[in-house]
Structure 1
Amino acid sequence: MDGKIVGRLVLVLCALLQAGCVMAPGMKMTGSFREAAARLMPSDSELGLQVEYVPITPTLISKLEEASDVDAPKALTGKERGPYRIGPRDVLSVVVWEHPELTIPAGEYRAADAAGQIVDEEGCLYYPYIGRLHVSGMTTNELRELLAKRLSKYIENPQLDVRVAAYRSQRVHVIGAIGQPGIQPINDVPLTIAEAISRSGGLTDKADMRRVSLTRDGRTVILDLLSMYKHGDAAQNVLLQDEDVLYIPGIEESKVFVMGEVWNPQAAPMIRGRMSLAEALSVAGGVNQNTADSGQVYVIRRDETSSARVFHLNADSADALLLADAFELKPHDIVFVGTASITRWNRVISQILPSAVLLKTYRDANER
């Protein structure tokens, strides 16, 4: 290869080096954080996204922790739970002492719900001597007083006992990553989330405890059961009401995506619904020290609206790992580790060398 060709190759290589290896293959967010933001803005406008670029600092982490402390259960509406009130489909047991003709015999082998009277769909109950009564919305004490008053016309000083033999009028739906998904009845004991989960066989190992959803009257809030079980946050242990839907998602629905210069890029599930930036990098095998630029660690997050945030961590110093451990990820976050400049340059060279060798081989063959 003569001197002219060698000189031209040197000029081409120098030009590529000065251009910052723009021809390097793969994904990249090169340059300073502000420069990366400026380059990304045109594509953001084309996608209709409003992007905010934020460096990860102790102040930012404090603000994010304060924002996560919002008391979601306060967003729920509903009446305060008082004494249990009878409703349609409930089975009532009425015992009139010393008057067995007014009492359905229970028998040794009869179930409790078979030894009672069913409240019909209109909320009414039929009882001997009295006839049809509207009992829906009453407590057992109120019904006992009403029956005693009506029976006093036929029985002197009647002594009654009224109780609910089977609770069928109020129920909640517990579904998702739970031992026994299904319907749980509401009885005279107030039914909380912890009680409903216990009745349903407990959470499975794949339950996402930090993003449990409770839907009531068409409105859904997200509850943090990990905070309830681990830190005793009683505010998360909401009192359930009729037709509430409690959904426990699985960790397969809560993943973060680790990409770029890590040893094992992957979609990592959030165990128990929690994962920090440091944990995500560790799950992916850590930053590839041979190819990565530790000053370019990004977390890309999109919210429910048409906006996104790009968080930047400069992990050149070891103390930055403390920030990475304190930075909590959310489902579907994208963690991206940028490429070192020398790595991009080597990748450009690796693409050019085969062509250069081919040219030299072709020239040598023509000179023979």
Structure 2
Amino acid sequence: MNFPIEILRWRLVAAATAFLSLLLGGCATGLQFNSQDSQGKAEPPPPTEMITEQLIAAEKQASGRPAEQDLSRLMVPNPPPYAIGRGDILSIVVWDHPELAGGGMTAATAAADASGMSASVNANAPQPGFVVDHLGRIQFPFAGLLPVEGLTEEAARALLTQKLARYIANPNITLRVQSYRSKRVYIDGEVKQPGLQAINDIPMTLVEALNRAGGLLPTADQSRIAVERGDARYRVNLRDLVQKGINPGNIMLAPGDVVRVHSRDESKVFVSGEVVTPRALTMHDGRLTLNEALGETGGISPLSGDARQIYVVRKTPERTRVFQLDARLAGSLAMAESFELRPKDVVYVAASPLANWNRQLSLLFPGALTNAVGVTNRQ
């Protein structure tokens, strides 16, 4: 008979259950940190901050301050006209005096250039015209060395007219920039045509630079556009600007600026633990709420998840912060929708005490619960 053997199995399962209950009685089922400093000493775990309406309001206020300060330095509502710089090539025509064209620049050449025919000329090939030298000057017949750096086309034309008026009665002069080579910006990242963009008579705003680069790619993150100017670095969030009613066309680029459009893949949030489908999520133009992150992963697992223990782990330059949400409380879903995640955040849903007990029992006594269920079925 197998009856005594079955009784023995039941007693073993009961003893194992009692032993495991004592073992797990003092164990925490939530998120635990075991960290050490450089000397090998155990460091205290970071404090857990409960997600409340007050905490959400404080986080929004803290995250909104730096962007406003940076953007105020980039805004130029009324950009000045283009100023001639070193390396630019000027097209100068003195009407009725073709002998003053110089450098192969004739009235016919100027007319053809005005019609747009010179657009196909290779930029590296020598072009007719008057090149502004390294000292910001051009050399013109009768006028000699003429300083034009920093002048607009109108101001340079008036200066040249004043010089030639000593030799020519009522000179009629056409002066304009034929080739813009003194000022450039660099566009990099998630755009169709990255590279150098020359600043011309059209104001080089951020929107203009992105359009000249072919526009943003579908993988571009509109909330993470970096403008590097010298040692300063500014972060531009196009989405927030539009929502606040600020025209992005007022962001004026300066010569030498570097614009980098970051990819959405760089702004991921990781969801793990007791959810239906743990995975990495891509933020939507820099925005992803805790509620959206849980929804896109299928929600909390109904079999093993603990709705009381939803954690968000965030690494900051100062310290590691741990936020906790108790989804059983009234208004928790509204707070989860208002709590905005940041890139590289880790969302973790802890297992319920029953799920932890089942897993520990399976590790210590493999097949014990299965044998117990089999005995019950045979009875």
TM-score of the aligned structures, taking structure 2 as reference length? 0.81
Note if 1:249 corresponds to 2:262. yes
RMSD: 3.1
2:20 aligns with 16
Sort the Cα spacing of 1:50 and 1:349 in 2 relative to 1 into closer, same or farther, 3 A: closer
Secondary structure of 1:67 counterpart:
helix
Secondary structure of 1:239 counterpart:
coil
Sort the Cα spacing of 1:50 and 1:344 in 2 relative to 1 into closer, same or farther, 3 A: closer
Note if 1:53 corresponds to 2:34. no
> Alignment partner for residue 91 of structure 2, among 71, 90, 93?
93
CA apart distance, 1:353 = 3.9
Q: State how far apart, in whole Å, the 1-side matches of 2:148 and 2:140 are.
A: 11
CA apart distance, 1:52 = 4.6
> Alignment partner for residue 64 of structure 1, among 46, 56, 59?
59
Secondary structure of 1:70 counterpart:
helix
Please list, as runs of the form range in 1=range in 2, the aligned pairs for 1:1-368 lying within 5 A after superposition: 1=5, 10-20=14-24, 30=29, 40=33, 43=35, 51-70=46-65, 72=67, 74-75=69-70, 81-103=79-101, 104-105=105-106, 106=109, 108=112, 110-111=117-118, 114=127, 116-234=129-247, 237-303=250-316, 305-317=317-329, 319-354=331-366, 356=368
Secondary structure of 1:297 counterpart:
strand
List, as ranges, runs of 4+ consecutive aligned residues in structure 1 with deviation greater than 6 Å.
Answer: 2-6, 47-50, 357-360
Secondary structure of 2:186 counterpart:
strand
Q: State how far apart, in whole Å, the 1-side matches of 2:62 and 2:84 are.
A: 41
1:26 aligns with none
Residue identity over aligned pairs, in percent, reads: 36
Q: Per-residue CA shift, 1:292-314, capped at 9, x if unaligned?
A: 001110110012x2411111111
Q: State how far apart, in whole Å, the 2-side matches of 1:142 and 1:358 are.
A: 93
CA apart distance, 1:66 = 1.8
CA apart distance, 1:166 = 2.0
1:363 aligns with none
AA aligned to 1:196 is: A
CA contact (8 A) 2:75 2:250 kept: no
Secondary structure of 1:272 counterpart:
coil
Q: State how far apart, in whole Å, the 2-side matches of 1:202 and 1:230 are.
A: 20
Q: Per-residue CA shift, 1:149-179, capped at 9, x if unaligned?
A: 2112211222223211222111111111112
AA aligned to 2:277 is: N
Count of aligned pairs between the two proteins: 347
Q: State how far apart, in whole Å, the 1-side matches of 2:369 and 2:296 are.
A: 40
Q: Per-residue CA shift, 1:238-297, capped at 9, x if unaligned?
A: 211001111111111111110000111111111322211111112212110110001110
CA apart distance, 1:73 = 5.8
Which structure 1 residue ranges, 5 or more long, are not aligned?
24-28, 361-368
Q: State how far apart, in whole Å, the 2-side matches of 1:349 and 1:79 are.
A: 64
CA contact (8 A) 1:301 1:308 kept: yes
CA apart distance, 1:61 = 1.3
AA aligned to 1:266 is: R
TM-score of the aligned structures, taking structure 1 as reference length? 0.83
AA aligned to 1:60 is: L
CA contact (8 A) 1:83 1:188 kept: yes
CA contact (8 A) 2:327 2:333 kept: yes
Q: Per-residue CA shift, 1:125-168, capped at 9, x if unaligned?
A: 12122223332222222211221121122112222232112221
